[in-house]
Amino acid sequence: MTRALESGPVAGIPFGQPLYKAVKLRITRGLVDGQWRPGAAIPSEARLAQMFQVSVGTVRKAIDELVAEKILLRQQGRGTFVAAHTADRTLFYFFHLVGKDGRKETPATELLSFVRARAEADEAVKLGIGRGDRVYRIRNLLRLSGEPVVIDDIVIPAQLFVDLDERVFGAREGTIYGLYQARYGINVIRIAERLSATLADRSTGALLGVASGTPLLAIARIAYTYHDRPVELRHSLVDTTEHEYLSDLVKT
Amino acid sequence: MTRALESGPVAGIPFGQPLYKAVKLRITRGLVDGQWRPGAAIPSEARLAQMFQVSVGTVRKAIDELVAEKILLRQQGRGTFVAAHTADRTLFYFFHLVGKDGRKETPATELLSFVRARAEADEAVKLGIGRGDRVYRIRNLLRLSGEPVVIDDIVIPAQLFVDLDERVFGAREGTIYGLYQARYGINVIRIAERLSATLADRSTGALLGVASGTPLLAIARIAYTYHDRPVELRHSLVDTTEHEYLSDLVKT
DNA sequence: AAGTGGTCTAGACCACCAT
DNA sequence: TGGTGGTCTAGACCACTTA
């Protein structure tokens, strides 16, 4: 088997790409179309090698990258699994607040409002949808140890989350990204965040139980699914009196 | 060659460790003791395999991890190089501020003060030194597009940076971490940061050209060298009027 | 015992770079 | 042209999990 894929076993792949990239794309396709669901095991490396007519080493290299991206999880002796949005994973990869003593805690979410609306121009650009397309706007209050700490304003395209409503959102078990994943097949795999400092106005101050003029951490998030497709905007206001935002590049 | 290293070619390694971990440690040793210097190439994979009496694949796996940690850089056809603290690398991995328009810019540094002092209790713990050990305290003003944006307060142990003084610090070419690396052989390879929101007091406001009471982003950083050894504390205050802090997990 | 991922080897060939 | 890293293969054996 030569390096380039001039007419290989993996169809629909650009020429000149390494074989393992093609294998990675084939596996990703299986994830996108729901062939292998979150929490479940994908076929064994030997089986995939057989399916794709490549060597096990090549399959391993493809899976290596997906594991590095936290899309797949390997468990020796058990198999390779599609990462699911459990509370633990959310806490580790998608929730960056910790107590000033360093402790991590799962936040309790309280739905403040849920409305149907239309995308503003800048939102449409960031979400890759049309200006004026339908969106849901969701406001949540997050508590840590019972105290209000974060106000989250979420914007998601209605076309991706058909028939989502306040009842479904409120009745979910588990995390918000778990709901996206379980009910709508949308798997958030990466987020990008921009942080700045701002001041609490009267209404947000009231929600967070702080005086207006209190400094707050403002976080603008874009959440992405496979192939860097944006699926959610989220703007957070954080009272950093007792908590901090942790930014730490992971080590091996 | 079996998996475990009961009495292998690589001495001084715990039993039961994979061979490639031992190889990785041997390579890291060469980096720590300055055998292979930043910017220079390490021996070829074939040569290392020969030196360590292992297969090329095992050397590659060790290097793979060091490359993933941004400690080494591979360049096809040229060799594998020790990452150096160039302005570009700093901008990409150690400086997280971007303009609100998304543009990255190298900051201009102005030394405000340089004093010899002794470590406070909490600083000593974070730096892994004794309480009261000598440290340098350095205050810098960072400008972006000519405007003051950041105040940096740096604390470093004097024992690691012997004979550092204001003149040496001010006369450096390149980045601060470049100075640590070139003159003291201390290679910062990872940072951890905690962010919160605060208010400008009168003196910091004056330095940043903002009114007291302006919200600022506070960043507490610990910088690490090999083996997770802390070597620098840095506290930053950022005017986020025109700039934001970018937190983005890197993709493959 | 069977099946999974994890490690290690040896070798072939390709792509890229310097000379 | 020679040396470097990059890809791909094939096979052996180990470690771990499950039944």
pLDDT per position as a tens digit, A88-117: 999 999 999 999 998 999 999 999 999 999
**SS3 label, residue A112:** strand
Last residue of a domain, one of A56, A82, A108: A82
**SS3 label, residue A18:** coil
**Residue A3 contacts B, CB cutoff 8 Å:** no
Is the Cβ atom of B2 within 7 Å of strand D at any atom?
yes
DSSP type of residue A228:
G
Residues A91 and A68 in one domain: no
The reply to whether B51 falls in a domain is: yes
Residues A65 and A174 in one domain: no
Cross-chain Cβ contact A196/B240 below 8 Å: yes
Q: Are A235 and A220 in contact (CB under 8 A)?
A: yes
The reply to whether A250 falls in a domain is: no
Question: Which residues pair with residue B197 across a beta bridge?
Answer: B217
Cross-chain Cβ contact A245/B194 below 8 Å: yes
Residues A151 and A227 in one domain: yes
CATH number at residue B230: 3.40.1410.10
Q: Are B236 and B221 in contact (CB under 8 A)?
A: yes
pLDDT at position B252, please?
A: 34
- B85-101 per-position pLDDT tens digit: 999 999 989 999 999 99
Last residue of a domain, one of A32, A50, A82: A82
pLDDT at position A252, please?
A: 34
**Residue B57 contacts A, CB cutoff 8 Å:** no
Q: Counting beta carbons within 10 angstroms of the beta carbon of residue A128, is it exposed (0 to 12), middle (13 to 18) or buried (19 or more)? A: exposed
d(CA B199, CA A215): 6
Q: Of A15 and A5, which is predicted with more confidence?
A: A15
Of B191, B213, B217, the CB nearest to A196: B217
**Residue A247 contacts B, CB cutoff 8 Å:** yes
User: Which residues 6+ apart lie within 8 Å of B198 measured at CB?
Assistant: A197, A215, A240, B215, B216, B217, B218, B237
Residues B233 and B113 in one domain: yes
The reply to whether B251 falls in a domain is: no
Residues B76 and B91 in one domain: no
The reply to whether B14 falls in a domain is: no
Q: Are A247 and B193 in contact (CB under 8 A)?
A: yes
Residues A192 and A92 in one domain: yes
List chain A residues with CB under 8 Å of B125: none
Alpha carbon B178 to chain centroid, angstroms: 9
pLDDT band at A5 (very low <50, low <70, confident <90, very high): very low
The reply to whether A104 falls in a domain is: yes
Range of the domain at A156: 87-245
Cross-chain Cβ contact B197/A190 below 8 Å: no
- If one counts the domains in chain B, the total is 2
Is the Cβ atom of A20 within 7 Å of strand D at any atom?
yes
Q: Are A137 and A118 in contact (CB under 8 A)?
A: no
Residues A105 and A214 in one domain: yes
Mean pLDDT score of chain A: 92
Of the candidates B87, B85, B36, the one whose C-alpha atom is nearest the C-alpha of residue B63 is B36
The reply to whether A3 falls in a domain is: no
Residues A143 and A104 in one domain: yes
Residues B47 and B144 in one domain: no
Residues B91 and B74 in one domain: no
The reply to whether A43 falls in a domain is: yes
- A20-44 per-position pLDDT tens digit: 999 999 999 999 999 999 999 999 9
Under-50 pLDDT residues of chain B: 1-10, 251-252
Give which of B201, B240, B247, B248 to mutate to test A binding, by max A Cβ within 10 Å. B247
Name the residue type at position B10.
V
pLDDT at position A15, please?
A: 61
Residues A184 and A202 in one domain: yes
Residues B26 and B72 in one domain: yes
pLDDT at position A221, please?
A: 98
CATH number at residue A41: 1.10.10.10
The reply to whether B7 falls in a domain is: no
pLDDT at position A14, please?
A: 55
Last residue of a domain, one of A82, A104, A127: A82
d(CA A236, CA A153): 6
pLDDT at position B250, please?
A: 54
